[in-house]
Structure 1
Amino acid sequence: MPPTSRPSKATLAAASVALLLVLRHFYRRKGTYAALFGDPAKLARRVKSGEDEYDFDEYDVVIVGGGTAGCVLASRISEDPKIRVLLLEAGPSSIANPFAIVPASYSKLMHTQHDWDLQTTSQPNANSQARYWPRAKLLGGCTCMNAMIFHIGAPEDYDEWVLLQKGQEGASQWAFKEVDKYIRKFEKFTPSPEYPLVDASLRGRSGPVHTGYGYASYGTKKFIEACANAGIPAISDLNTYKGTMGVSKVMTFITPKGRRCTTQYAYLTAKVLARPNLKVVTDAHVTRILFETSGPTPRAVGVEFTQKKGEKFRVKARKEVVLAAGAVHSPHIMMLSGVGPADHLKEHGIPVAADLPGVGSHLMDHLVIDLNIQDKSKTGIGHLKGDTFLDGLKLMRELFTYNMTGRGPLTTNVAETIAFVRATDPKLFPPEQYPTSQIEDTTSGPGAPDVELFFTPTGYLEHGQAKMRPGYYFAVHGVLLRPTSTGTIRLKSRDPQEPPEIDPKYLSTSNDVAILVRAARLLTRILHTEPLASMVDPAGAEDAALDHTFHDLDDAAVAEAIRRKAETLYHPACTARMAPKEDGGVVDPFLRVHGIPNLRVVDASVFPTIVSGHTAAPVLAVAEKAAELIVDAIRADRAAAH
């Protein structure tokens, strides 16, 4: 690999001064929120050594995890003033964190105290290397640390969810026509004169979550044109009942003023947090769910959590405990609490509250391969990294523009445009060259994709954490949307402070590799299609760290490169699946854990199978629906009691 460079002290100083502009602007508002996250001792009870029966405070609903789903649940459930709600989040507030505010800066949160900083096990079929998994440890969760892509998946994905429930009561409520109501409920779309063909009547108008458009680089527009010239139709909106096939500028979670719209920002406003029936505790690491097991079935009665000093606290849930800790931590907490595969729990000396083999199983994730290209047009956003003194000066200019106007390159989500295709599309993959018998159709329906392509106006290595040689780059990326490889989340020990063992079993099926080979072939074809072809600098072919000669590789070499290059797209899901127990399911269609009716799971872990696209919007829709289910159940209990 060619030598890389480190930014000079002068560069770092320039970047630091520039950052202060943002810090001064945003930290002014910190006081509005800081007082609303109280001392846990005022909201819960300390656990005294040897006193397991020590009294603890009561809430109707205790929500574990203040991430993408948890903030939605806390806000919506507490709309009923008679329901007392407690939200527990392991990280701090993100409301004044500049890296969770400025859209382009999210990678700055990686490998910090605001990141769980997880690693998978070594992956035998992916170059025998472990993979880094960024997961935000902040109120707002991964909406603080993702590419902000608003994408709902394919409509057929949700209809497939119904089929996977095999006739269980409530299954039909997950059909697309039903879920779409909740997508519109959370969305507040801001039209843009640059994209006049978007039908605003098909977008949500009054929800708390802003969607719209950020910065579009020169290369983004060229990528869309090249895709269209290569046979992928350009469409105005990837998020309607008409389907998701085609190429389009990405719609993002962004406010009209250019701020990243996290779920904390959208749902936990000062007005919401002022509700007397809602309490939020940050820096609260939940270590286990407390169960009453004397009856015919276990009942969740509360949770235990610790804070930074190691003190233990307990709170009681009169009605429900809701896990919203994500596809890694929800199953982790369940297993620590005695809910999971009985043999595995016994290995770690954990008493079994409920034998549920599906907990932590069927882990699915989207893999991506990145092809970095030297940019002849020199129009990208690489200067935002501040790697050179000149780039540092440019960054200061961009920060000033953003600070004053909420516009400019800092409103980019980096992955600026996306395309969705099928690996069996005969127009893109002629059968005489790509026989359909070589791959399995894993899509959810004839109108759903199994491959995603996207463009970034910058190159990057290792999620942007490794330095590239100074220069101008762009990149194109291919995503495996419907993997057939599934993995597990398992305990390393019974110590709740030790992260779980994450084994996604990447590329363990030949079908996954074959589809990514097709994605790579299509990417290189688009790279050689105008007008994108004119952006490719021939000089980049001399740099072994770049991918200018990728098209020259035979299929075996491409497959080998895929195993080396493949990284997570940050979409772990399906580890507490909504499916019948006998099929490895963990929750029913009402998101209640099988055998524990007052314990629910609400996050990406409940997906019966992974969606054909990005996961943030589906999680928001699931959380909106779940909040209604929980409120309806509590009101029904209240009515029955009277």
Structure 2
Amino acid sequence: MSTPSISAPDFAGHDFDYIVIGGGTAGLAVAARLSEDPNLVVGVLEAGPEALQDNAINSPGQFLQILGTKYDWQFETVPQEGLGGRALAWPRGRVLGGTSALNLMTWNRGNKEDYDAWEQLGNKGWGWDGLLPFFKKAEAFHAPDKKTQSANREYYEPGAIGTDGPVHASYSKQYSKTHQLCYDALVALGIPENKSHHAGSNVGVWTNPVSVDPDRNTRSYAAPAYYVPNSSRRNLLVLTEALAHEIILEQKSGQWTATGVRFSYGDDSFVAQASREVILSAGSVQSPQLLELSGIGNPQVLEEAGIEVRVPNPNVGENLQDHLMTVSVFEIDPNIQVKNLGAPASPFCYLPVSTAVSEEESKLLLSKVEILERSTPEKDEILRSRFDPEANLGQFEYIFELGNWNSNFHPDPSNGKRYASVLQILQYPFSRGSIHICPPNFSRKDGSRSTIATKPAIDPGYYYGEKGEVDLETMKQCMRFSDKLCKSTPLSSVVGSRVAPPSSVTSDADLRDWVARNTTTDWHPVGTCAMGGHDGIRSGVVDDRLRVYNVKRLRVVDASIMPLQISAHLQATVYAIAEKGARLILEDSVEKGT
């Protein structure tokens, strides 16, 4: 495999057409597609190292061992009032390939309605039909043989998948005994099998594909997928361990224009120039951070941090949405082998609220939703519609996994007991938060300012306010489905008593308290540089061609542009955003004749 080999001075002295900030999931995909044109010179700045040979990343079975290492930015939220004052770890990839090198490799898509909602908000071309070609362009799906497909329920819709893209997607080669037991229990509960879960609806139960190259049994992520095959291109230059500090903005014809990037390598500082565009692909945490450090954002936030205001936009860093998760833990038959089978291999189940709770509870939740203050009518109305009893959308994801996945449950290892977990993940949160640069500990007299070295303040606002109250109530009610699942045959033949929440948690009040004290994140932040749609800069940061409002030659291409959360893990969608973003950039370049 090839390793990035350009020096920092050479990178800074290069004549680039495009500079991509962030060599992660989206950034490497964008750079690879732009550099397909040999007349374009593309540079990529990545803060982390390359780790192409590191088995901790490449081996699917070691996915949890990478978190908290040198490959992780090790971000943390501010204490969350809605979680009893707890702060949560927020892993993000600091390595060539970004978070695609750290994630759990889940490969799925949201519902057609999720993406159509983006277009409904005024973002032309971002509905399901507009995105499907880019989902397919990114993936190389390995279809299972008929025998395996039947044995493990490995279903797919041929017309909805891509077969020759850079990222490998496949079904696991091994499954535990509980895979079939859980699958059958869900079906016995009346949950429909979904044999076309990539084709616009993931509701129901289905077997989960993963981003693994089945021929090599290695993680398939952005670095080996998009960079390595193209690393010999003379017009694609990647500098790792280079930390971007700010986007260089200059006044041209009376408008702020991105002309380059100031970055550091070791103790030295450099500036690299881009003659066409700077493309920000630093993710939902650091894309807004870099915009603010460059003078683009809420004037109050910038002034408190000692940053000169260049382009006022109060939406930068706002609209943060994340998937919230609780984990129930059950004792399990000690004869069940709890061992690492590689990438997570489980039946996935997405359910509407009306399926996961009783009719009475569903009506109660709907009544709470209907009285919410309509601060952003169009977005709120879309979220309200997903509680409609007729809506067939996955408000909740349920995953049954062997082992203890609850970080707050600490059993005595000497008791000889074994455990299984049910992960309950809220897909369409009302909770909203923000990510902003922090005011430094400085005196105005010495002119200090916030820098990239200061981690931003991440405040997801979990369960906060009346909107967060709806999320908390929804999570509380939908947790009960896990008990129902584990008590259903044939899964009940190997699953015993529940230990988290403990058996003493029976009342609504106790369960509500336990949820607040045990909710964590599924690490799917979006929305902090969202597309503005119909409302433009009044509610967003970029337009539907991903151009930053009121700044020329600057775009954002990553998960931060998503205006509303989706019912899915983010990986495949981020690749689709990158593929589409690269297409938009090339189209605009041709239109301008540049």
When normalised by structure 1's length, the TM-score is: 0.83
The residue aligned with 1:318 is: 275
**Are the structure 2 counterparts of residues 254 and 603 from structure 1 closer, same or farther at C-alpha, using a change threshold of 3 Å?**
same
Q: State the AA in 2 paired with 1:477.
A: L
Distance 1:325 1:157 in 2: 23
**Unpaired segments ≥5 residues, structure 2:** 370-382, 441-449
**One of 27, 30, 33 as aligned partner of 2:2:** 33
Matched, 1:525 2:461: no
Cα pair 2:157 2:198 within 8 Å, conserved: no
Cα pair 1:87 1:279 within 8 Å, conserved: yes
Cα pair 2:537 2:549 within 8 Å, conserved: no
Distance 1:189 1:434 in 2: 38
Q: State the AA in 1 paired with 2:423.
A: H
The residue aligned with 1:391 is: none
Distance 2:271 2:101 in 1: 28
The residue aligned with 1:418 is: 348
**Are the structure 2 counterparts of residues 126 and 39 from structure 1 closer, same or farther at C-alpha, using a change threshold of 3 Å?**
same
**One of 507, 516, 519 as aligned partner of 1:554:** 507
Written as runs of structure 1 = structure 2, the 5 A alignment for 1:440-519 is 440=369, 442=384, 446-462=391-407, 469=413, 471-492=417-438, 493=440, 494-508=450-464, 509-519=468-478
Distance 1:283 1:231 in 2: 52
Q: State the AA in 1 paired with 2:168.
A: H
Q: State the AA in 1 paired with 2:181.
A: K
The residue aligned with 2:522 is: 569
Q: After superposition, give the CA deviation of every residue in 1:102-143 in whole Å (9 maximum; x if it has no partner).
A: 112121111111110111000011121101111111111111
Written as runs of structure 1 = structure 2, the 5 A alignment for 1:338-353 is 338-353=295-310
Cα pair 1:442 1:482 within 8 Å, conserved: no
Matched residue SS, 1:150: coil
Distance 1:37 1:225 in 2: 52
What is the percent sequence identity of the aligned residues?
28
Cα pair 2:361 2:477 within 8 Å, conserved: no
Written as runs of structure 1 = structure 2, the 5 A alignment for 1:186-265 is 186-193=138-145, 194-196=148-150, 197-214=155-172, 215-241=174-200, 243-257=201-215, 258-265=217-224
Matched residue SS, 2:399: strand
Matched residue SS, 1:298: strand
**Are the structure 2 counterparts of residues 288 and 582 from structure 1 closer, same or farther at C-alpha, using a change threshold of 3 Å?**
closer
Cα pair 1:376 1:536 within 8 Å, conserved: yes
Q: State the AA in 2 paired with 1:413.
A: P
**Further displaced range: 315-324 or 488-497:** 488-497
**Are the structure 2 counterparts of residues 442 and 95 from structure 1 closer, same or farther at C-alpha, using a change threshold of 3 Å?**
farther
The residue aligned with 2:251 is: 293
Q: After superposition, give the CA deviation of every residue in 1:19-76 in whole Å (9 maximum; x if it has no partner).
A: xxxxxxxxxxxxx323x332212211xxxxxxxxxxx532000000011101101111
Matched residue SS, 1:597: coil
Distance 2:358 2:291 in 1: 47
The residue aligned with 1:117 is: 74
Q: After superposition, give the CA deviation of every residue in 1:579-601 in whole Å (9 maximum; x if it has no partner).
A: 13354200000000001131100
**Are the structure 2 counterparts of residues 423 and 128 from structure 1 closer, same or farther at C-alpha, using a change threshold of 3 Å?**
same
Distance 1:262 1:462 in 2: 27
**One of 11, 23, 26 as aligned partner of 1:43:** 11
CA positional deviation for 1:212: 1.1
Q: What is the RMSD computed on CA atoms of the aligned residues?
A: 2.0
**Are the structure 2 counterparts of residues 280 and 463 from structure 1 closer, same or farther at C-alpha, using a change threshold of 3 Å?**
farther
Cα pair 1:107 1:463 within 8 Å, conserved: no
**Are the structure 2 counterparts of residues 417 and 155 from structure 1 closer, same or farther at C-alpha, using a change threshold of 3 Å?**
same
Cα pair 2:263 2:271 within 8 Å, conserved: yes
Matched residue SS, 1:502: strand
**Unpaired segments ≥5 residues, structure 1:** 1-31, 45-55, 166-170, 385-408
Matched residue SS, 1:313: strand
**One of 514, 534, 551 as aligned partner of 1:596:** 551
The residue aligned with 2:573 is: 618
Written as runs of structure 1 = structure 2, the 5 A alignment for 1:80-229 is 80-165=37-122, 171-193=123-145, 194-196=148-150, 197-214=155-172, 215-229=174-188
The residue aligned with 1:10 is: none
CA positional deviation for 1:310: 2.1
Cα pair 1:367 1:569 within 8 Å, conserved: yes
Matched residue SS, 1:320: strand
Cα pair 1:210 1:255 within 8 Å, conserved: yes
Distance 2:113 2:361 in 1: 28
Cα pair 1:461 1:467 within 8 Å, conserved: no
**Are the structure 2 counterparts of residues 581 and 373 from structure 1 closer, same or farther at C-alpha, using a change threshold of 3 Å?**
same
Cα pair 1:195 1:236 within 8 Å, conserved: no
The residue aligned with 2:331 is: 374
Q: State the AA in 2 paired with 1:520.
A: M
**Are the structure 2 counterparts of residues 41 and 454 from structure 1 closer, same or farther at C-alpha, using a change threshold of 3 Å?**
same
Cα pair 1:439 1:515 within 8 Å, conserved: no
Q: After superposition, give the CA deviation of every residue in 1:147-179 in whole Å (9 maximum; x if it has no partner).
A: 1111111110111001112xxxxx331110110
Q: How many residues of Structure 1 are paired with residues of Structure 2 in the alignment?
A: 552
Q: State the AA in 2 paired with 1:370.
A: V
Q: After superposition, give the CA deviation of every residue in 1:327-348 in whole Å (9 maximum; x if it has no partner).
A: 0000001101101101210111
Distance 2:460 2:160 in 1: 36
CA positional deviation for 1:565: 0.8
Q: After superposition, give the CA deviation of every residue in 1:301-326 in whole Å (9 maximum; x if it has no partner).
A: 0001112x221111001000000000
**One of 360, 385, 393 as aligned partner of 1:432:** 360
Q: State the AA in 1 paired with 2:459.
A: D
The residue aligned with 1:305 is: 263
Matched residue SS, 1:69: helix
Distance 2:587 2:502 in 1: 57
Q: State the AA in 2 paired with 1:482.
A: Y
